[in-house]
């Protein structure tokens, strides 16, 4: 187990740091204090070289020059909240608008736009980095102040776990964060060799603004049916891309459950995704802005559908719909969420 630190820049709130954690198998996880960003998920190849299986930028400032939220920790609430408002206990709360009339990923001052403090911990079984920040209603526009910690933990079984903890809440509020991770398990700029399985029988019906209507649609016999391992690219093409929420099987619980498997048939690299919540949003990066260069592409301009975002969370707009899950966090209470990314290679 190893850990290293590097100051890579400065913002108004202090130094921007890169923290790299390595396990005994040579898997490396690099994170940034800005946005609690997963910059690198490096895995060894047959030649001994390291391959980054997530998208990322070399310069931390480049994360804020587009609208991709690349591998950042988004919140307080991930996804869209329709009309940028909700009602709880007969009180209507207005939130920041940043996508038309809606609030996407908590608006322009969400967690992903802030620089975080951190501490590290090294043991024989795992290495971890814990990021901590106080979120203020006066800054992000959500009700109440709260403290949040986000912990990245890498163990010797090649599992990266991300823990989201919210506590010291001054007013009843909402909390439903995720990591907006983009995976490409191959060395190519497309998903042609990828296959996907999602443990889901239903997806959410969305309106023209991608806001949930409140209805759940059976995936049987549709392009959304990933219950069995399925080649991904043909489905992307047939469906003209995905930006959709799947209802994963099993109840929301304290312990994580497997919700999806992404696998690259050529390299054998794969990721099993675990979560203790009821939703998985997938986004295939169908529309991409100009002049985006991901570090893994070595100077080649980014391409649409180059990667797939897999965001484990409570179902989007849950605060509006009965049966979508509870994201209300009462004053004085705390909550913990967990996402797990288990790396494997099927050819080893």
Q: Is 180 annotated as a binding residue?
A: yes
Domain count for the chain, please give it. 1
pLDDT above 70: percentage of residues in the chain: 99
Rounded average pLDDT over 178-198: 98
Residue 238's φ and ψ, nearest 5 degrees, are: -65, -30
CA distance 197 to 280: 12
Residue 83's φ and ψ, nearest 5 degrees, are: 60, 15
Q: Is the pLDDT of residue 252 over 70?
A: no
Q: Is 12 annotated as a binding residue?
A: no
Reported confidence tier of residue 251, pLDDT bands at 50, 70, 90: low
Nearest alpha carbon to residue 151 among 43, 29, 17: 29
CA distance 161 to 101: 34
Cβ-proximal residues to 78 (8 Å cutoff; 6+ apart), any chain: 105, 106, 176, 177, 178, 180, 281, 311, 313, 316
Active site residues: 180, 311
Q: 83 is in which domain, residue-wise?
A: 2-345
Interval 193-233: pLDDT, tens: 999 999 999 999 999 999 999 999 999 999 999 999 999 99
- Domain of 234, CATH number, reads 2.70.98.10
Interval 43-65: pLDDT, tens: 999 888 999 999 999 999 999 99
Q: Is 181 annotated as a binding residue?
A: yes
pTM of this prediction exceeds 0.85: yes
């Amino acid at each position: 187990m190893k850990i290293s630190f590097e100051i890579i820049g400065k913002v108004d709130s202090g130094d921007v740091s890169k923290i790299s954690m390595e396990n005994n198998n040579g898997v490396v996880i690099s994170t940034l204090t800005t946005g609690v960003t997963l910059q690198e998920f490096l895995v060894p190849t047959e030649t001994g070289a390291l391959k980054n299986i997530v998208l990322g930028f070399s310069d931390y400032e480049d994360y804020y020059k587009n609208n991709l939220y690349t591998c950042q920790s988004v919140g307080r609430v991930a996804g869209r909240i329709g009309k940028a408002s909700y009602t709880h206990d007969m009180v209507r709360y207005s939130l920041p608008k940043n996508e038309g009339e809606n609030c996407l990923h908590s608006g322009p001052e969400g967690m992903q736009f802030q620089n975080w403090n951190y501490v590290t911990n090294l043991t024989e079984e795992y290495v971890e980095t814990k990021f901590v920040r106080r979120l203020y209603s006066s800054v992000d526009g959500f009700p109440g102040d709260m403290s949040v910690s986000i912990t990245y933990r890498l163990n010797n079984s090649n599992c990266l776990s991300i823990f989201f903890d919210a506590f010291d809440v001054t007013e009843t509020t909402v909390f439903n964060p995720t990591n907006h991770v983009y995976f490409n398990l191959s060395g190519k700029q497309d998903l042609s060799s990828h296959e996907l399985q999602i443990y889901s029988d239903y997806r959410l019906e969305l309106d023209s603004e991608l806001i949930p209507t409140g209805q759940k649609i059976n995936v049987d016999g549709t392009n959304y049916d990933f219950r069995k391992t399925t080649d991904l690219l043909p489905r992307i093409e047939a469906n003209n891309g995905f930006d959709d929420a799947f209802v994963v099987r099993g109840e929301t619980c304290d312990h994580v459950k497997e919700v999806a498997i992404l696998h690259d048939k050529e390299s054998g690299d794969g990721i099993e995704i675990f979560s203790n919540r009821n939703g998985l949003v997938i986004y295939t990066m169908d529309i991409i802005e100009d002049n985006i260069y991901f570090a893994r592409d070595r100077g080649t301009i980014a391409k649409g559908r180059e990667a797939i975002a897999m965001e484990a969370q409570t179902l989007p707009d849950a605060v509006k719909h009965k049966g979508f899950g509870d994201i209300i966090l009462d004053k004085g209470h705390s909550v913990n969420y967990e996402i797990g990314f288990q790396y494997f290679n099927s050819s080893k």
